[in-house]
Amino acid sequence: MNTTQGGTEHPLLVVSDVSKVFGRNPVLRGVSFTLERGEVLALVGENGAGKSTLMNIISGGLSFDEGSMTLDGRDYHPDRPVDAIRQGVAIAHQETAVMPDLTVAENIYFRREPVNALGLVRQARMHADCSALLKELGFAIDPRRLGRDLSAAERQLVEIARAIQLRPKLLILDEPTASLSVQAAEIILGLMARLKALGTSVIFISHRMGEIIDAADRAVVLKDGELTLEAKRGAFDRDDLIHAMVGRKLTNIFPARPASLANAATAFELRAAGNSALAPMSFAVRRGEILGISGLEGQGQRPLAGALCGAQPFTAGEVMIEGKAVRLPSPAAAIAAGIASIPDDRKHDSLALSLPIRMNMSLFAISDKARFGFLPLVAERDFGAAARRRFSIRSTDLEQPVGELSGGNQQKVVFARWLTHVPKLLVLYEPTKGVDVQSKSEIYHLIGELVEKGVAVVVISSDLIELIGLSDRILTLYEGKISGEVARPDFSEERIMALAAGPETAIGELVHA
Amino acid sequence: MLEGSLRSNLFLSAPALVLTLLLVSLTGVLSPSFLTEANLANIAVRLLPLGLVALGQAIVLFAGRIDLSVGTIMSLSTAIMALTSVSLGWFSLPLTILAGIACGLFTAAGVIVLRINPLVMSLATAAIVKGVTLLVLPSPGGEVDYALYELFFESESPFAAPLLICLLAYLILALVMGWSRLGRSIYAFGSDAKAAFANGVSGARIDITVYAVAGGLAALAGIFLSIRILSGDPLIGEPYTLDSVSAAILGGVALQGGRGHVFGVLAAALALVLVNNMFNLLSLDTNLQAIAKGLIFVAALVFFMRKKQGEA
């Protein structure tokens, strides 16, 4: 249906040499690729490789610094999301753009509501239309529910429904399946195939190798802002993708793990510990063990990280450190008990971006060197210089504001702050989010050094490659409960994803049978 | 008709309605003069300025903003009326409303162009407007055309012009907020500005709209105030700033934006007028009124904050 004269001469979208710099950090370096009509393109890359930036540029949410784009053969330079929508490009964000105080129907038809002759919205008609649309798409969501009451997976489906309702020429799906069970994800993959048959082009971001290989006509891989692979279906496999994402063999990136930790003493244990967001859960971590926590998005990872560091305390059960019961009512108590915790949002939760590296490192870290409440500048400088060497932080000097560093180097500053004293338990929440591959490997080896010293580590991450490479054991979370456990010899993406999807009975609740 | 977020927003208005009914029965029992026609007409007259200014404040709050300049805009409007209504006649009304809208646009410009925090910018506007008012009318005085008084305030029935004007304003904005795309965009922007932007809402357009509406309604409130006192007063509007926010919050409008309904605000404005009226009928110290109003404001904030946490 898009075969009007002249319309088929050009590819739908051509991206040429697009570059983007945030502050001093290049996030996209000369990226070029083309997308044909009715083609499904998978955009692959690790967290922080520049995928979301690139999609935001194409959908008008961000501007680019260099390069050019054409859509349908014409120069394409959207300044705002509306410009992109007008030209037929729609994006389904990763659950961020659902408005909490509007209903599902009001969200999906936002600014395109059916109106009567007086310009007033026909509420009943709109909600009925929405029911029909959701049914056709195969999503089981009540259109009358408010955005704030939806789960992460439901918000994701609302986003997708809204983008499809725009009837775009190009549909961009930002990790559409990250919060979905395998079964719900299949509905999305089926939808992509239906849209493709109608001549719509689709770009989707995914971390799931299986669905990329099954659904994509073409794969584009980004690594640290550069395009490292562009290949058509059949011309790439799983190993090619991972190699292009990581740039070297996986075994070199992760620290070696011992065959067995059975003799190590238990460092940390939860006994039926829970709170309003977490069902009572029990697990133990041995000294020198790395325990990975996996799960679909929003299944209790954030509350668990918060409870372990004392920010959203456990209200029931027991916490044991080295065999002694402790209480973690506040972050201060958790620190005193020997728990170091690195949050996922370093920009808001752990760094003062406008202050120099020196001051960011010394916060809390060397308070024992304070004299009469003042930190001697010499002590601060010595500490900073030593930490900068040890963690190989790349910066002009210690006085550079942290906000000017790359994501990886920012994260190393956070590590430096927390690791002056060897903790008993280290809790990491998305430790390499927005971090380049080189720094990632350095961070993994830092974690390796710590476990050799006997530190117990809990890694909560959405990156399965990271969890599989790093962990000795992986637990899966589903709706705030532990839904499964896998030991290192049995690790596989499929196994972990199946456990993360929860018990059989819960599967398919989101979608019509 | 009442489908969608409109239903949950109306639900937020319920506490204010209950409170108003309670106050009506309480005052009725405590004071025999409450239910007289003259007193009810008096209540309607006093509801008009507060109702209008609170309506404008509510629209701003729906968008997640706040306007602390509305009281001074009311004062300025009484001054403009007192200085122009005799010479310009009817033209003084649109002139005053335009001046109020201009004040609102000034706040919006600061927010959009200079990227000043909206609350702080509206305080700056308040200071400037107050200065201008005191320059043109240093002390209470001037004269407002008596013909205007006859037109709006002559009737002794409670169901006369003041009540009808107030209800009409609320009806129009209830339609706009509940059933128009503009209203939906304002709620969406207040609910989550980033998400609204991603869906094509222009934040600048929302800021311009809500501050202009608040400025215009504050001016209208000031116009009726000046007609009632037949003169201008450079400081008369001051207490209305807190009262307008108070009525909106008490009416179930979220301070964070995105939720609430104008009918709740009307009920809450009536409740505040009733409290005032009760103090007068029971001949209590007027300073106690100020204290009571402050406490009602805190109670409203606490009540709706609790409720929100309970829901989450």
Task: Categorize the per-residue pLDDT at B251 as very low, low, confident or very high, splitting at 50, 70 and 90.
Answer: very high
Q: Do residues A494 and A210 lie in contact, with contact meaning Cβ atoms separated by under 8 Å?
A: yes
pLDDT above 70 (res A245): yes
- Name the range with the highest mean pLDDT among A73-77, A374-378, A463-467: A73-77
Region A272-279 average pLDDT:
92
Mean pLDDT: which of A105-109, A404-408, A508-512 is highest? A105-109
Q: Please list every residue in chain B whose beta carbon sits closer than 8 Å to the beta carbon of residue A98.
A: 192, 195
Mean pLDDT of B175-199: 92
Helical pair B92-112 and B203-229, crossing angle rounded to 10 deg: 150
Contacts of A124 in chain B (CB under 8 A): 1, 3
B310 pLDDT band, cuts 50/70/90, is very low
Q: Looking at CA atoms only, how far is residue B9 from chain A in angstroms?
A: 9
Q: Which of A105-109, A254-258, A319-323 has the lowest mean pLDDT?
A: A254-258
The minimum CA-CA distance between A360 and chain B, rounded to whole Å, is: 27
Contacts of B36 (CB under 8 A, 6+ apart): none
Q: For residue A4, is pLDDT > 70?
A: no
Measured between beta carbons, the chain B residues lying within 8 angstroms of A110 are: 184, 188, 199
Residue A251 predicted with pLDDT over 80 = no
Mean local confidence (pLDDT), A442-468: 91
- Secondary structure of A146-203 as H, E, C letters: EHHHCCHHHHHHHHHHHHHHCCCCEEEECCCCCCCCHHHHHHHHHHHHHHHHCCCEEE
Q: What's the pLDDT band for A504 if we cut at 50, 70, 90?
A: low
Q: Tell me which chain A residues have a C-beta less than 8 angstroms from the C-beta of B258.
A: 99-101
ipTM of the complex: 0.87
Asked if B4 and A120 come within 8 Å (Cβ–Cβ), the reply is: no
Closest CA of chain B from A320, distance in Å:
30
The answer to whether the CB of B215 falls within 8 A of the CB of B105 is yes
Among A155-164, A365-374, B253-262, whose mean pLDDT is lowest? A365-374
A209-223, A259-273, A449-463, B203-217 — which one is most confidently predicted on average? B203-217
Say whether pLDDT at B132 is over 50.
yes
Q: Using one digit for the tens of pLDDT, what is the confidence trace for A387-420?
A: 888 888 888 888 888 888 877 888 888 888 777 7
Half-sphere exposure of residue B201: CA atoms within 13 angstroms, side-chain side: 29
CA distances to A22, A146, A488, B191 from B9, rounded to whole Å, are 40, 11, 52, 12
* Averaged pLDDT of chain A: 86
Q: Is the pLDDT of residue A262 over 90?
A: no
User: Does any CB of chain A come closer than 8 Å to the CB of residue B199?
Assistant: yes
Lowest model confidence (mean pLDDT) among A114-123, A258-267, B15-24, B209-218:
A258-267
Structure tokens at B206: 């929302």
Chain A and chain B share a number of CB contacts under 8 A equal to: 92
Is pLDDT at B312 greater than 50 in this prediction? no
Least confident piece of the model among A353-367, B91-105, B205-219: A353-367
CB contact under 8 A, B195 and A98: yes
Residue with tokens 């983008």: A163
Q: pTM (2 decimals)? A: 0.80
Report whether pLDDT(B120) > 60.
yes
Of B175, B191, B200, the CB nearest to A100: B191
B259 shares contact with chain A (CB less than 8 Å): yes
Closest chain B residue to A90 measured between Cα atoms? B199
Contacts 24+ apart (CB under 8 A), B238-241: B238/B71, B238/B72, B238/B75, B239/B71, B239/B290, B240/B49, B240/B50, B240/B53, B240/B70, B240/B71, B240/B74, B241/B68, B241/B69, B241/B70, B241/B71, B241/B72, B241/B126
Whether the CB of A102 is below 8 Å from some CB of chain B: the reply is: yes
Q: pLDDT band for position A366 (50/70/90)? A: low
Q: Does residue A146 belong to the interface with chain B, where contact is any CB pair within 8 Å? A: yes
Residue listed under structure tokens 């974690």? A447
- Residues A348-357 have pLDDT tens digits of 777 878 888 8
- The pLDDT-based confidence of A143 (bands split at 50, 70, 90) is very high
pLDDT band at A513 (very low <50, low <70, confident <90, very high): very low
By DSSP bridging, strand A218-223 and strand A40-44 are parallel
A124-128, A340-344, A436-440, B24-28: least confidently modelled range: A436-440
- Residues B64-94 have pLDDT tens digits of 999 999 999 999 999 999 999 999 989 999 9
Higher pLDDT, B102 or A152: B102
Contact A110 B199 (CB under 8 A): yes
The whole-number pLDDT of residue A362 equals 74
For residue A318, is it left (φ>0), alpha (ψ between -120 and 50) or beta? Answer: beta
Of the candidates A93, A103, A162, which has its C-beta nearest B5's C-beta?
A103
Q: Which run of H or of E encompasses B176?
A: helix B161-179
Residues of A in contact with B194 (CB under 8 A): 96-97
Contacts of A113 in chain B (CB under 8 A): 181, 184
Cβ atoms of A477 and A301 closer than 8 Å: yes
Pick the more confident residue, B4 or B144.
B144
pLDDT for A452 beyond 70: yes
Over chain B, what is the mean pLDDT?
Answer: 92
Sign of CA dihedral A497, A501, A503, A504: negative
Please report the pLDDT score of residue A371 as a whole number: 67
Coil, helix or strand at residue B212: helix
Q: Which residue, among B259, B292, B220, has the nearest Cα to B53 in the 3D structure?
A: B220
Q: Which helix (H) or strand (E) holds A210?
A: helix A209-215
d(CA A351, CA A400): 13
Closest to A285 (Cα-Cα) out of A268, A260, A265, A308: A268
**Alpha carbons B276 and A393: distance in angstroms, whole number:** 65
Taking CB atoms and an 8 Å cutoff, what residues of chain A touch B185? Answer: 111
